[in-house]
Structure 1
Amino acid sequence: MDGEMSEDVLTEILARLPCKSLARSQCVSTSWQRIISSDYLRRRLRLITSGVLFHDGPRGGDGGRKQAYTYACASDGGGVAEAADMSFFPCHDTSTIIDGCNGLLLYYASYPTAFHVVNPTTQRWAALPAARGKTLLSVLAFDPSASPHYKVVCFTGWLPRGASIEVFDSEAGAWREHEVDFGLDTNAMSATMHCFGGALHVLAYSGHVVRIDLDTMACAVTALPAPVSCRARAGHCRGRLRYASSDGSRLRIWELRDAGGGDWAMKHEIGVKDVIADEQIYGSSQAVTFLFMAFHPEREVVYLWAPWKLLAFDMVERRVEEEWMFGSEKEGAHLIQIWLFPFSRHLANCLA
């Protein structure tokens, strides 16, 4: 079929396919595989929006339902974000999602101890070899625009100003042990982390962000423009580090202009009334708040968790661009993490 139409026409057709169909279409022919692998087609495709939800069940007691993360995909244009069917992964019911990064999920089972990395887009998964130490905190790092390889970082012990870690590199297929020096007291470090450009960015309650290079394990400390709270987040937009600080009713965003000098510039500031223009809500006794979730990697758009929905808010136009509800349990759902990532040959080939 591809021999009967021009490559430009075929590219236009492929650009309109859902990401799962596009991933499978690589097997049609070598010419289809080449077009799907091209950077031109990747730039034509919309970013994929994904979320990890926390459904709040009964607390306390042996009879309480286990609390767990649920993976959901948000469709283009808004609507209802339904939980993804993960039944293709045989260990889904015996392990827990503990992290996600750019289209991959990290599952962990405590007994017997096991890590799995799962790609919901292509419905592939990989079992990792057993780590040597006991994991205290685990993070997944994956950039589908750069490589099909990923890393899993496990913190296995705390030092006064650093940590013992094990890093699994999918390219090498093995774990390696390291010690890192944060450059700050470990007690100041938070569990709020962000992966970008081969590095892990960790917020510290001392008012700093620590960049850990996952190749060299070197750490760099940069002072932040505002204090760190449980609602603060770091992220990247157009390749630059940004810092978001929110008190639930007001959001301030800074951009790092000079990493060496710690030069931050204020980019945006919005209030709750800019986001939620519902007079009935304001007239009720309910407290109106929103939480910052993520930056769009290429546009001046942020993703916010408002009452029972995820919002894409355009910071330039000052308007809600898209919104998603989260099924019948939306009032009990608490959004933990979202990310946006490009479809690419690396996402399609990952875990092949």
Structure 2
Amino acid sequence: MVSGRSEMDVELGEDVLTEILARLPCRSLARFQCVSTSWRRIISSDYLRRRLPLITSGVLYHGGPSGGGGDDGAKRAYTYACAPDGGGGGVAEAGDMGFFPCHDASTIIDGCNGLLLYYASRPAVFHVVSPTTRQWAALPAPRARTLLSVLAFDPCASPRYRVVCFTGWLPRGATIEVFDSERGAWRGHEVDFGIDTDAMTATMHYFGGALHVLAYSGHVVRVDLDTMACAVTALPAPVSCRARAGHCRGRLRFASSDGARLRIWELQDAGAGEWALKHEIGAGDVVPGGSSQAITFLFMAFHPEREVVYLWSPWKLLAFNMVERRVEEEWAFGSEKEGAHLIQIWLFPFSRHLASALA
């Protein structure tokens, strides 16, 4: 690393250098933080971060065999894919994970805001991998067999990430082990969901230091990963396999869809369980003039800062502006992936915390 200001910094000037850096792919920015301390400061600045587009990434499900239990069941064919840099739509392609030496020997089981969670059963080992910075970390083996594992990471808050493993079910809770990257070790806990465990789903959203878990009883359970305290909030609509939790502008949102119509609520008061209906869109809004009976879409994610949602319509990912009621961008996944099912996407800004999470 070169300390201080390089000759290039002096020749170009900071304003010109910032404009150049703002036009580079995020992967290049992650590497260029090591050029000099002045480059690192510019790349880490909030001004540059606001200039950069959100990173859009996803996981494709290719219809392979489904494991029947925990992380060590039959392999589930999850493949990482990402949209091209710079916005404007285009063709999304499977990410090149060849840099990760254990890619072929393990399986992607979850992802969160730019990091992927890999698992191999023999021997049992977790890896956390960053496709953006092409770095990875091997985790020590957990003490108990895991039934369900999720990754928790917020690149806007800190480089800290956690892996939450559910190791046993209780009538109204669970035993879990949590790996914390700051401690570098697993720690066991017992949590009380506050409702019957049989009602809990595997649909979870990490936000604000907590897992938000949807329950078929018509509730969302907030599990604080610092204190392990749980809070139960009633939802404004029933929970189905198409329901999702998310956030926008710092507020929790709930999306309910029947495949042809989508309704979105925002939590106004968690204590009182008060929700406000923000938007309602139908198939005719997504494809004006088309036959609504022939159009189906699945809600995937909220834009974290704008009134935009991301929808999966077979073989296309759509960015739909709910205020202007139009499709802003769309990404195709290619005819060779017909039959693929997009199960999860993340949208997050480039951040120095993303670049340093696995450093």
**Structure 2 matches for 1:109-188, cutoff 5 A?**
109-188=120-199
Q: 1:247 aligns with which of 254, 258, 281?
A: 258
Q: Which residue of 1 aligns with 2:219?
A: 208
Q: Distance in 1 between matches of 2:349 and 2:43?
A: 13
Structure 1 position 328, deviation (Å): 3.4
Q: 1:287 to 1:67 in 2, by over 3 A?
A: farther
Q: Which runs of 4+ in 1 moved over 3 A?
A: 57-60
Secondary structure of the 1:13 match is helix
Q: Distance in 1 between matches of 2:308 and 2:347?
A: 11
**Structure 2 matches for 1:31-180, cutoff 5 A?**
31-57=38-64, 67-75=76-84, 76-180=87-191
Structure 1 position 292, deviation (Å): 0.4
The sequence identity of aligned pairs, in percent, is: 83
Structure 1 position 170, deviation (Å): 0.2
Q: Distance in 1 between matches of 2:66 and 2:207?
A: 35
Provide TM-score, normalisation by structure 1.
0.95
Tell whether the 8 Å contact from 1:157 to 1:163 is kept in structure 2 after alignment: yes
Q: 1:228 to 1:217 in 2, by over 3 A?
A: same
Q: Which residue of 1 aligns with 2:249?
A: 238
Q: Which residue of 2 aligns with 1:10?
A: 17
Structure 1 position 276, deviation (Å): 2.4
**Pair 1:226 & 2:233 matched:** no
Q: 1:67 to 1:174 in 2, by over 3 A?
A: closer
Q: Which residue of 2 aligns with 1:196?
A: 207
The aligned amino acid for 2:233 is T
**Structure 2 matches for 1:185-334, cutoff 5 A?**
185-277=196-288, 279=290, 282=291, 287-334=294-341
Q: 1:59 to 1:185 in 2, by over 3 A?
A: closer
Q: Distance in 1 between matches of 2:56 and 2:241?
A: 24
**Structure 2 matches for 1:326-345, cutoff 5 A?**
326-345=333-352
Secondary structure of the 1:332 match is coil
Secondary structure of the 2:263 match is strand
Q: CA RMSD in A?
A: 1.6
Secondary structure of the 2:33 match is helix
187-196 or 73-82, which deviates more: 73-82
**Structure 2 matches for 1:22-37, cutoff 5 A?**
22-37=29-44
Alignment length (residue pairs) = 344
Structure 2's unaligned 5+ residue stretches are 1-7, 68-73
Provide TM-score, normalisation by structure 2.
0.93
Q: Distance in 1 between matches of 2:55 and 2:76?
A: 26
Structure 1 position 308, deviation (Å): 1.6
Q: 1:186 to 1:27 in 2, by over 3 A?
A: same
The aligned amino acid for 1:337 is Q
Q: Distance in 2 between matches of 1:79 and 1:30?
A: 35
Structure 1 position 58, deviation (Å): 7.9
Q: Distance in 2 between matches of 1:324 and 1:278?
A: 21
Q: Which residue of 1 aligns with 2:3?
A: none
Structure 1 position 278, deviation (Å): 6.1
The aligned amino acid for 1:288 is I
Structure 1's unaligned 5+ residue stretches are none
